[in-house]
């Protein structure tokens, strides 16, 4: 286990322990009767595909998302992501969202991969991820078929918020008026 993963696990455990009591009180106090107009507190659910050329990033994002109750698969490049996506569609267990690195060191990057994914599934919910804020693709990400983007290095909260919005259908493909940028 890499040091960064150990550190994230420790941070997540501290946060979890601090919030456990508050969450338990909240869960006990919420009336789940929707007829009274009270919203139900839900966990994140969904199947996420993470494509990134950096193994540490893939493993870290996978760990964070699994702790957030997502089912996660990872790919090192676009070719692998496409194969995983095809298999998921063929087995009727599709991905709810895909996070794709714009440029990977070896293999197909996000721009070419999103074209192929859109051919497979015109409703794919893809989030582009990059550390290059000046890349023209990030400035016009929706024109390439992405519905949101995460600027690296992103915070765990930004990752979770973005995925929650995307998987819950609060973002319509091609129409995004916000993004999460961490300073």
pLDDT higher at 132 or 179: 132
Q: Considering its fold, how many domains does the chain have in total?
A: 2
Closest alpha carbon to 127 in 104, 106, 150, 151: 150
Angstrom distance (rounded) from CA 34 to CA 122 = 33
Average pLDDT over residues 121-137: 91
Residues 19 and 52 in one domain: no
pTM: 0.71
Residues 51 and 3 in one domain: no
Backbone angles phi, psi at 89, to 5 degrees: -65, -45
Neighbours of 107 (CB within 10 A): 16
Report pLDDT for 82.
Answer: 98
pLDDT higher at 44 or 76: 76
pLDDT at residue 30 above 60?
no
How many residues are there in the chain?
183
pLDDT higher at 85 or 155: 85
Range of the domain at 111: 42-167
Bridge-based pairing of strands 126-130 and 97-101 is: parallel
Report pLDDT for 10.
Answer: 65
């Amino acid at each position: 286990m890499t040091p960064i993963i150990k550190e994230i696990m420790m941070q997540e455990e501290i946060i979890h322990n601090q919030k456990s009591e508050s969450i338990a009180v909240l869960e006990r106090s919420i009336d789940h009767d929707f007829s009274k107009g009270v919203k139900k507190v839900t966990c994140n659910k969904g199947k996420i595909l993470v494509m990134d050329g950096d193994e540490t990033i893939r493993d870290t994002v996978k760990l964070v998302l699994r702790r957030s109750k997502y089912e996660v698969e990872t790919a090192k490049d676009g070719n692998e992501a496409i194969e995983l996506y095809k298999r998921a569609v063929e087995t009727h267990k599709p991905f709810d969202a895909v996070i794709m690195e714009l440029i990977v060191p070896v293999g197909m990057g996000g721009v070419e991969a999103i074209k192929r994914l859109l051919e497979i599934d015109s409703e794919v919910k893809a989030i582009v991820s990059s550390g290059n804020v000046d890349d023209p693709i990030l400035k016009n990400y929706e024109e390439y078929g992405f519905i949101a983007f995460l600027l690296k290095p992103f915070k765990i909260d930004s990752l979770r918020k973005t995925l929650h919005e995307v998987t819950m259908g609060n973002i319509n493909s091609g129409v995004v008026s916000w993004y999460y940028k961490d300073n």
